[in-house]
Amino acid sequence: MAGRLGSLLLLVFQTFAAPPEFVPASDLDPADPLRANGTAVGPSMAPPPGTSQRMPHSIIIGVRKGGTRALLEMLDIHPSVAAAATEVHFFDWDENYARGFDWYRGLMPYSYPHQITVEKTPGYFTSALAPERICAMNASIKLLLILRDPAERVVSDYTQVYFNRLEARKPVRPIEELLVRGGALNTRYKAIQRSLYHLHMRNWLRHFPLEQIHLVDGDTLVRDPLPELRRVERFLELPPRIAASNFYFNQTKGFYCIRSDGRERCLHESKGRPHPPVNGTVLRQLRAYFRPHNRSFYKLVGRTFHWL
């Protein structure tokens, strides 16, 4: 009895201590509605009349630390978008995929018939199984992929892990120790592997035509969100509703925040953390390693990005 009570208290602490995007999907109860167009719907509340939980019409598939949360939050401004509240990890985690599509649908927000449901899980992009599984669900689904400079993405990836370990009171290592092994670049480092975009993209193109995968420039989205979001609206065949007035630059945080429905909100404090300094020689080595891989990606998608 005492052991069960302790486990219950631990679960309650973990649920309320974590930011919404870090609540594991395996801990969510599909019987508890999530939200409809940004409106919280608790287990004791009836969903708004005329709404239902539907499979996603579009999925943000990645990339990790590319700006997926910012993209989802900005899209959620649109009155015709209903965004899932958490990263579901349905198509990349076997234990969740085994729960079936009804379980997955139960984690989607309640939406009106005129709305599209959007889910985002950055781990899908680098998953070997996610493309085939998503295709089996809906071969005509529209996919969103937000990318940023691969070297910067590596440093951002390290930064997230660094702060997570600090908060868990675990030992941390300088980024140079992870990037370099025996005097050479450690290309087996997972953060580097995640930035080899062309390798992962080829897996997606085995199951989806390029026309169904819209590439969002994450570096541009941070500097000037509206043009990128206008392109996303067109790709999703949404009427243009997101406007410049929906954004304002927060000088303290150093990035754009959102103004919508009379409220102002910024991303969670875990987003936009300053990167640790990286040895200049190591950073140049990292960028040099990515250049041929970046060129392969440009050729694959027929588009060039301004990555160093």
Active-site annotation, residues? 65
Is 120 annotated as contributing to ligand binding? no
Is 275 annotated as contributing to ligand binding? yes
CA gap 278, 294 in Å, rounded? 21
Is 271 annotated as contributing to ligand binding? yes
The number of beta carbons lying within 10 Å of the beta carbon of residue 287 is 17
CA gap 241, 228 in Å, rounded? 13
Is 121 annotated as contributing to ligand binding? no
Is 80 annotated as contributing to ligand binding? no
Is 97 annotated as contributing to ligand binding? no
Laid out side by side, the sheet with 58-62 consists of 81-83, 116-120, 58-62, 142-147, 213-217
Is 110 annotated as contributing to ligand binding? no
Is 123 annotated as contributing to ligand binding? no
Is 253 annotated as contributing to ligand binding? no
SS3 letters for 151-215? HHHHHHHHHHHHHHHHHCCCCCCCHHHHHEECCEECCCCHHHHHCCHHHHHHHHHCCCCHHHEEE
The CA distances from residue 217 to 82, 119, 129, 214, in Å, are: 22, 19, 25, 10
Is 272 annotated as contributing to ligand binding? yes
Is 89 annotated as contributing to ligand binding? no
Known binding-site residues for 3'-phosphoadenylyl sulfate equal: 65-69, 148, 156, 256, 271-275
Binding residues are 65-69, 148, 156, 256, 271-275
